[in-house]
Amino acid sequence: MTGAEISAVHPGAHAHPLDNAVPISGRQAPPCTVVIFGAAGDLTQRKLVPALYNLAHQRLVAASGFAVLGFARREYTDAQFREYLGAELKGHVGSNFEPGIWNWLSGRTHYVSGNFDDTAAYERLARALADAEREHGTKGNVLFYLATAPEFFAVVARRLRECGLLDESDGRWRRVVVEKPFGRDLNSARELNAALGKVLSESQTYRIDHYLGKETVQNLMVFRFANGIFEPTWNRRYIDHVQITVAETLGVEKRGGYYDKAGALRDMVPNHIFQLISLVAMEPPISFQADAVRDEQAKVLRALQPFSPEDVLTKTVRGQYGAGQIGTKLLADYRAEPNVEPESSTETFVAMKLAIDNWRWSDVPFYLRVGKALSRRVTEISIHFRRPPMMLFRDTEVHKLSRNVLVIRIQPDEGIALKFGAKVPGATLRLGSVDMDFSYADHFGANPATGYERLLYDGMLGDQTLFQRADMVEASWAVVNPVLDVWAALPPRNFPNYHAGTGGPRDADLLLERDGRAWRDNLK
């Protein structure tokens, strides 16, 4: 849409079919205003507003009681903010785009400019919220989304409290969504939780991890607990080990300033990876209520065995990419990227061997690897089952029995595959591997999504199941902290130690080979 077309939409625009629409699936969220702090940033334009558009397209937002308020330092009028959001919306929602729905949503979108620590700006925000309640029927309910730098999380929450914007009297609700990272280490995570806890109740605090918005991740619990053929074998008696791979082909691109201070370990492991592990390894909850699920996830995180300094040297691997080629694209050394120190010791690759010290998972290693500038983009969990005894096959041509492997693909091709052995046709007994493969796109059709739809929707509903609790955050950092300490004390001497476009450093392969295992061949 052009800027003129967007500017022509106004809060009192004529009724749109969405106003009386029935949700495509699920129930419609209650009336509310979504306030996005940091609204002039990339996350808002690429992910959050497209996600809100997709929810409107599915008729899941309150048709007659919904508004969006952007808050940022940049000076925008309402019309300019709408034009900024609309400029790239069609590219992010694809064939889902309908001008009428964007007219409806943009007509309910407004903007407040100001600094995050400016009391006067929050007073303007309060007036804008009152206007939204009056003009759009939001009933005073507000979902605040902090798409800001981490140093502003506590500042914004404190200002909201001081200006009375977290008040939940008269039956209205106020909730605050906090983006990652939740601290840089255990101490900073505790400090952030304490700062938020002074002004927010835990029931108002929604620590978001966009990985949990992915369909296959959400399906993990359903897959495990709704299918009687899998849960009985989901334990140390039948499972040999578990692998988790999160591989990206991209380098750090324009994020060098942030990434060089964070690194792959902080950026991915205590949040995305540990959330996946907790869902794979948790015990069956007594219900799907938020705290029942999160209680079981927290137990897994607390059962992860902490690393001793010696363990860090033998059970963790770090890497940094050097120049290489991925497809037709040439990548320079990580150290040559913009805003990266020329002698940086920041890791762009991490591999680990983890142990869960409980009855179900004792002696079952969990191997993880995460990295940038690798040969293929893939995120998957693979469950490797124990081999059956060979005695039945001694007098046959079968020389080795391969493992059954259950693969849960999270991206880019969401789905589930099961590998098992079958007899190859012929007069002799020979085994071949067979894959049963399920793809979400093939079976259910592909729905354009950013990964934030379910999380924003749950925030409006007040469902915290897919959001981290304070104790979960701290339990995750408690596992990672010893690794950070050892790596800080012993800077790497061999960086860069893998070429862009490969599968990572050789030491990551040795991590499994020492145990007589190997990574799944998913990076070729």
**Residue 325: beta bridge partners?**
330
What is the Cα Rg of the chain in Å? 25
CA gap 377, 247 in Å, rounded: 5
Omega of the bond leading into 492 within 30 degrees of 0 (cis): no
Over residues 80-92, the mean pLDDT reads: 91
Over residues 47-73, the mean pLDDT reads: 94
Please say whether the structural domain 213-447+467-513 has been given the CATH code 1.10.580.10: no
Cβ atoms 334, 348 nearer than 8 A: yes
C-alpha separations of 190 from 196, 323, 477 in Å: 10, 38, 9
Structure tokens at 361: 């998972």
Over residues 102-122, the mean pLDDT reads: 95
pLDDT of residue 432: 64
CA torsion sign for 22, 27, 32, 34 is: negative
pLDDT(446) > 70 = no
Domain layout of the chain by residue ranges: 3-208, 213-447+467-513
pLDDT tens digit sequence for 275-292? 999 999 999 999 889 999
> Which of 23, 55, 92 lies closest to 68, judged by CA?
55
pLDDT band at 5 (very low <50, low <70, confident <90, very high): very low
pLDDT of residue 211: 80
pLDDT tens digit sequence for 342-384? 999 999 999 999 999 999 999 999 999 999 999 999 999 999 9
pLDDT tens digit sequence for 229-277? 888 999 999 999 999 999 999 999 888 888 999 999 999 999 999 999 9
pLDDT of residue 407: 93
Mean pLDDT of the chain: 89
Q: What is the residue type of 206?
A: Y
pLDDT(4) > 70 = no
pLDDT(9) > 60 = no
| β 321-322/498-499 pair status | parallel
CA gap 148, 196 in Å, rounded: 15
At a CB cut-off of 8 Å and minimum separation 6, what does 20 contact?
63
pLDDT of residue 13: 41
Cβ atoms 440, 267 nearer than 8 A: no
pLDDT of residue 3: 39
CA gap 168, 281 in Å, rounded: 37
Region of 244 please: left (phi>0), alpha (psi -120 to 50) or beta: beta
pLDDT(489) > 90 = yes
Over residues 419-439, the mean pLDDT reads: 70
CB atoms within 10 A of CB 385: 17
Q: Name the E strands within 339-443.
A: 349-354, 366-371, 378-385, 405-411, 415-423, 431-439
pLDDT band at 10 (very low <50, low <70, confident <90, very high): very low
CA gap 489, 377 in Å, rounded: 32
Tell me which residues are annotated as active site.
Answer: 272
Ordered strands of the 66-72 beta sheet? 109-113, 66-72, 32-37, 142-146, 174-178, 205-207
pLDDT(2) > 60 = no
Q: Which has the higher per-residue pLDDT, 7 or 474?
A: 474
Q: What is the residue type of 86?
A: G
CATH class of the structural domain 3-208: alpha beta
